[in-house]
A and B are shown apart, each in its own frame.
Chain A
């Protein structure tokens, strides 16, 4: 825990290392990134034609978790601030949506921006004291937030609003405009659209002037400050934006699961976000979705291998994955791409030599 850049992604890419940290290591010959992104989006859009409703429900949750992990990634991966408190932002987002829908009959799509705004404000305010804390001390402060959240949600005087330990049950929305989709399919597309929009926004943020400032703070706060970056402002803003993403994910999660209860937003949820973040790849936007896949499916797989030892199996899988890919799926993909580019280069060189 010597320098902040320990937290950041450290990958051994044989070329173009500086560029790779923002994720544009595409060389002239390799397939451009947007082709992959487009292919993935088309594939995702076609899935409801073949998948069952339950699979769709699970995949929708994968996207929700992926979005929450993306929020954490903006803070931890790009700005270098630890957080064990993202379950709290997820919970605030979920409760904002649930309360708006349940008490005031607000349409479900309006609850997303509302949850985003509420979480942005809470995240920004929490970012202010976080400015003074670093690494483990920040981890403890955010951990306090995560532990406090279920208690606050259960707190007696708030019960008329939050429903106390009972939580709030919601109704699944139907597809609008008489589209020929069942609610599961509709929610899948709705979530996919929100996810793609927010991923594009995150990509733009990271590649903007502000994004460079955010990453400069991660890599070297003192150098960033002396270059004129307002570190305090950017750190608190990043906290706010990160909470906004995770809050919107929480609102989506509440709509998809149709139920919110205080104890589902506990510290363990933060831990799974963290696991997803590391497995997917710290500082990688598409990696967040891989993380979502991991935290949703792998515990189920572990359960199916051994019910009693499911925790142990999950732990072993986690260990295996980080032994094989210490910098997450994104780091692994980057390495594989670099290797294949190298192999292709040698192949081209060899064939050029053969036919002068």
Chain B
């Protein structure tokens, strides 16, 4: 029982990383209807900027706010410069554009900041929470921030005019344009927001996995898995999916004898696919009904 609890808590801690990422993934999916394969690299790049600012002597929270703002602008710029010209191209072509962006960011970060592993500070401290040994204060802080972002997003999308306009632009671009919403800018705004959330995720993850250009690859993959598991149309589901992936991965590694340790990733992915077979649009996603 002790072991189970410990593994679940450890799973929740890693799950929080995936949940952060899954949330950013779902945000941009809602805005542009595509999975952004370069999301992790965007987050990594933002985190490097934060690291650089802190190296230059900017206090943590100053750097935090600055990077969130810079990422917002950067996200909009990427949409305007790279993706606006090909927004009519087939899905697969856009997918290749994402892969290209991935390569560009990864390789540039490696060139600017090189590939050595860097420590990234945490504002929450690294000690155990409440004197227990189950979960550290940083993990708890990470979970807290993820939930906070989720609540803020919920309020933004449900309560504000802009949020409503963004949802309308994503759900039905043609009708949204007819009632006077600037759909193009709503998409750009979606990019900006998801880049900011990605930046927050990156800064929370970096103290755990350490900062280096390839730090996001694994995280992004699990983040995707979490987002799809929870359902791509539901931010709350994505967060829950992220936590679930972390817990499943940990429990499979510990409790399935023989196969468990070596094939932990495989087992986690098989379980996700199994869930999808029962609920093809994810656990909390709505299936899209289209008129024939």
Partner of A10, one of B90, B224, B225: B90
Q: Of A2, A222, A318, which is within 8 A of B96 by CB?
A: A318
A311 touches B103 (CB 8 A): yes
Q: How many residues of B contact A (CB 8 A)?
A: 45
Check if B53 is an interface residue, CB within 8 A of chain A.
no
Tell which of A9, A136, A156, A310 touches B90, judged by Cβ atoms closer than 8 Å. Answer: A9
Instruction: Confirm or deny: B238 has a beta carbon within 8 angstroms of a beta carbon on chain A.
Output: no
Q: How far is the CA of A133 from the CA of B224 in the complex (A)?
A: 16
Hey, which chain B residues are within 8 Å of A8, CB to CB? Answer: 90
Q: Which residues of B contact A147 (CB under 8 A)?
A: 221, 265-266, 269
Grouping DSSP codes into helix (H, G, I), strand (E, B) and loop, the B interface class, with mixed when no group exceeds half, is helix
How close is A245's CB to chain B, nearest CB, in angstroms?
18
In the complex, whether A315 has a CB less than 8 A from a CB of chain B is: yes
- Between B90, B110, B272, the greatest number of chain A beta carbons within 10 A of the residue's beta carbon is seen for B90
Q: Given contacts A309-B108, A311-B106, A322-B86, are A144 and B272 in contact (CB under 8 A)?
A: yes
> Which residues of B are found within 8 Å of A134, using beta-carbon distances?
280
Bound complex: CA of A125 vs CA of B104, how far in Å?
37
Task: Give the residues in chain A near B95, CB-CB below 8 Å.
Answer: 274, 278
B97 at the interface (CB under 8 A from A): yes
Do B266 and A312 have beta carbons less than 8 Å apart? Answer: no
Task: Tell yes or no: B100 within 8 A of A by CB.
Answer: yes
Q: Is B178 an interface residue (CB 8 A)?
A: no
Within the assembled complex, what's the spacing in Å between the Cα atoms of A202 and B117? 48
Asked whether any CB of chain B lies closer than 8 Å to the CB of A326, the reply is yes
Residues of B within 8 A of A314 (CB): 100, 103, 107
Size of interface on A: residues with Cβ below 8 Å to B? 52
Q: How far is the CA of A313 from the CA of B108 in the complex (A)?
A: 10
List the B side residues contacting A129 at CB < 8 Å. 273, 277
Note all chain A residues with C-beta closer than 8 A to B282. Answer: 137
Q: Is the CB of B92 within 8 A of A76?
A: yes
Q: How far is the CA of A274 from the CA of B166 in the complex (A)?
A: 31
Of all chain B residues, the one with the shortest Cβ separation from A271 is: B99
Enumerate chain B residues within 8 angstroms of A152, measured Cβ to Cβ: 263, 266
Q: Could you tell me if B104 and A278 are in contact, using CB atoms closer than 8 angstroms?
A: no
Complex contact A326–B228 (CB within 8 A)? no
Q: Does B157 belong to the interface (CB within 8 Å)?
A: no
CB-contact partner of A1 in B91, B93, B111, under 8 A: B91
Q: Answer whether residue B116 sits at the interface, using C-beta atoms and an 8 A cutoff.
A: no
Minimum Cβ distance to chain A for residue B245 (Å) = 12
B110 touching A308 by the CB < 8 A rule?
yes
Known: A141-B273, A144-B273, A151-B265. A319 touches B82 (CB 8 A): yes
Q: How far is the CB of A356 from chain B (nearest CB, A)?
A: 45
Indicate if the CB atoms of B290 and A3 lie closer than 8 Å: yes
- Residue B257 CB within 8 A of the other chain: no
Q: A1-B91, A148-B269, A309-B111 are in contact. Are A326 and B96 (CB under 8 A)?
A: no
Q: When chains A and B are docked, how far (Å) is the Cα of A156 from the Cα of B35?
A: 35
Q: Are B103 and A326 in contact (CB under 8 A)?
A: no
B232 contacts partner chain A, Cβ-Cβ < 8 Å: yes
Q: Is B262 an interface residue (CB 8 A)?
A: yes
Q: CA–CA, A309 to B104, complex, Å?
A: 8
Please indicate the chain B residues that have their CB under 8 angstroms from the CB of A316 in the complex: 100, 104
Q: Which B residues between 183 and 235 are near A, CB-CB below 8 angstroms?
A: 221, 224-225, 228, 232
Does A335 interact with chain B (Cβ within 8 Å)? no
Q: Which one of A2, A132, A137, A313 has the highest number of Cβ atoms from chain B below 10 Å of its Cβ?
A: A137
Does residue B9 face the partner (Cβ distance < 8 Å to A)?
no
Q: Residue B60 at the A interface, CB < 8 A?
A: no
Q: Which residues of A contact B269 (CB under 8 A)?
A: 144, 147-148
Asked if A232 is at the interface (CB within 8 A of a chain B CB), the reply is no
Q: How far is the CA of A156 from the CA of B276 in the complex (A)?
A: 29
> In the bound complex, how far is the Cα of B5 from the Cα of A344, in angstroms?
76
B35 interface neighbour in A136, A277, A319, Cβ under 8 Å:
A136
Measured in the bound complex, the distance between the Cα atoms of B101 and A318 in whole Å is: 9
Q: A311-352: contact bitstring with B at CB < 8 Å (1 yes, 0 no)?
A: 111111011001100111000000000000000000000000
- Nearest opposing residue in chain A for B261, CB measure: A156
Nearest 8 CB-CB pairs, A to B? A311-B107, A315-B103, A144-B269, A315-B100, A315-B104, A148-B266, A318-B100, A312-B107
List 14 contacting pairs A-B, 8 Å CB cutoff, sorted by A.
A133-B276, A137-B276, A140-B273, A143-B224, A144-B269, A148-B265, A148-B269, A152-B263, A267-B221, A282-B92, A313-B107, A315-B101, A316-B104, A323-B85
Apart from A144-B266, A154-B262, A322-B93: 14 A-B pairs, beta carbons within 8 A: A1-B91, A140-B276, A141-B273, A156-B262, A274-B99, A278-B92, A278-B95, A312-B111, A315-B102, A316-B104, A319-B82, A322-B86, A323-B86, A327-B93
Chain B interface residues toward A at CB < 8 A: 33-35, 82, 85-86, 89-93, 95-97, 99-104, 106-108, 110-111, 221, 224-225, 228, 232, 262-263, 265-266, 269-270, 272-273, 276-277, 280-282, 290, 292
